[in-house]
Amino acid sequence: MQVIENLKVKEKVYIETLENGLTVLIIPKKETEKKFIIWGTNFGSIDSKFIAPGENEITTVPDGVAHFLEHKLFEQKNGTNSLDTLTAIGVDANAYTTTDHTAYLYECNDKFYEALDEFMDYVQNPYFTKENVEKEKGIIGQEIRMYDDHPGWQVYINAMQCLYQNNPVRIDIAGSIESISNIDKDILYKSYNTFYHPSNMCLVVCGNFEAEAILEEIKKRLLPKEIIGEIQRIYPEEPEKVANKECKKQMEVSTPIFVIGIKDKVSKENMVKKHIAIEVLLNMIIGKSSKLYQTLYKQGLLLEEPDMQYEWSKEYAHITISAQSKDPKKVYQGIADTIQEYKKHGLELEHFDRIKRKIYGDYVKEFDDVADIARMFLADWMKGVNSFSYLEQYNAVTKSYAEEILKEVFLEDKTILSVVEPNSSSKEEK
């Protein structure tokens, strides 16, 4: 078993790749009673076109299949639902789908191994019928309609559709009412058998465990599977240019909400280093201690610090800055002006160092909670990254490197604005 230790946070991760290809990551936390497990497959909403191992033909599945499969996996042949079974045991269980992976998880203090039986059983034993698939379409259809009426989700998905012309990150993770209508049990089984092979999965446990002992417990519950070939994923070519510079939608909100997006290119190397630099830059530009934020706050144009993210996978990369404002255009312009000012005069060293220390503190805090640790290691594994890399690359991010990234990534022609503003009825009520 490979052991990687980070002395800065005094944590170790034990890594084992089993004979069937499954990667197991174990992060012991002796000082806590809480135990957390998450089992993820490298199959997300963008993976709708692929060549399965051993085949030559391209398979195209409807949008929303990864999310649909996540919902269906809980249903068992004996009529029970594994989510209900785990909840009844007293553990906090859940699942989620992202653009690049699907994950199943639970958290508990007691009954971990009793829950492990059910957990590893349902993930490895899909049960789809014509009837239960049709029933699920109604449930997921309601969820899609709910998100259609959710301003926060609409302003985000509209931002993705402004940023991207072809990349499937622009499509809703759940798909559409029309796309899920084309899902049947054969599509689900084909997707499951292709993407839920252990060699395409990673299981992470964090808590008061002995690494060798928990690994043996996991092995005991694994079904025998032979190694298969690689999945060939097919993604459309994505132009560098954004699809649209601006999008506006009217919904029932009291104050406009916005997302400013900046499209980036995925580099084969140094994505972690770049990610750290971008987080520092975002905090310097519009974080709570920035001059711009203080100005906008005093003017009543921002009432709280915006949410700032750098989202990336192997197929896309972009920045999002989101918040509420009565005048999103002024916020957009303020950010654009500040970026130009920094490009012209450079970053102020004392401010850069202060923000960099804050970012480092945020990274260290992520190692406080077993759930945060496990989710982080899984999400980073899906990108081909070890989570310790963020702590190890921290010192490599210098002021001059951040200034290079500012000039390379923060480009006006790659920046978009998505706004959801009050509709006429909302304005009248005000």
Closest C-alpha among 5, 14, 9 to residue 210: 14
What's the token pair of residue 263?
Answer: 């499209």
What pLDDT is recorded for position 426?
A: 52
Closest C-alpha among 330, 333, 419 to residue 152: 419
State the first-to-last Cα distance of the chain, in angstroms, to the nearest integer.
63
What's the token pair of residue 353?
Answer: 């160092």
* Residues found in the chain: 430
CA distance 46 to 42: 11
What pLDDT is recorded for position 269?
A: 83
What pLDDT is recorded for position 430?
A: 45
- Amino acid (one-letter) located at 314: K
pLDDT single digits (tens) 77-117: 988 999 999 999 999 999 999 999 999 999 999 999 999 99
CA distance 52 to 91: 35
Residues of the chain with pLDDT under 70: 425-430
Catalytic residues, by residue number, are 70
Sign of CA dihedral 268, 100, 229, 51: negative
User: Which residues lie below 8 Å from residue 331, measured CB to CB, with a gap of 6+?
Assistant: 258, 260, 296, 301, 302, 323, 325
What's the token pair of residue 323?
Answer: 């918040």
User: Residue 152 region, left (φ>0) first, then alpha (ψ -120 to 50), else beta?
Assistant: alpha
CA distance 59 to 416: 33
CATH 3.30.830.10 domain residues, the chain: 2-233, 246-429
Strand duo 59-60 + 23-28: pairing: unpaired
CATH of 2-233, one of 3.40.50.1820, 3.40.50.20, 3.30.830.10, 3.55.50.30: 3.30.830.10
Coil, strand, or helix at residue 373?
A: helix
Sign of CA dihedral 342, 348, 354, 357: positive
- Amino acid (one-letter) located at 169: V
User: Which residues lie below 8 Å from residue 10, measured CB to CB, with a gap of 6+?
Assistant: none
* CATH classification code of 246-429: 3.30.830.10
DSSP sequence for 128-179: --HHHHHHHHHHHHHHHHHHHT-HHHHHHHHHHHHH-SS-GGGS-TT--HHH
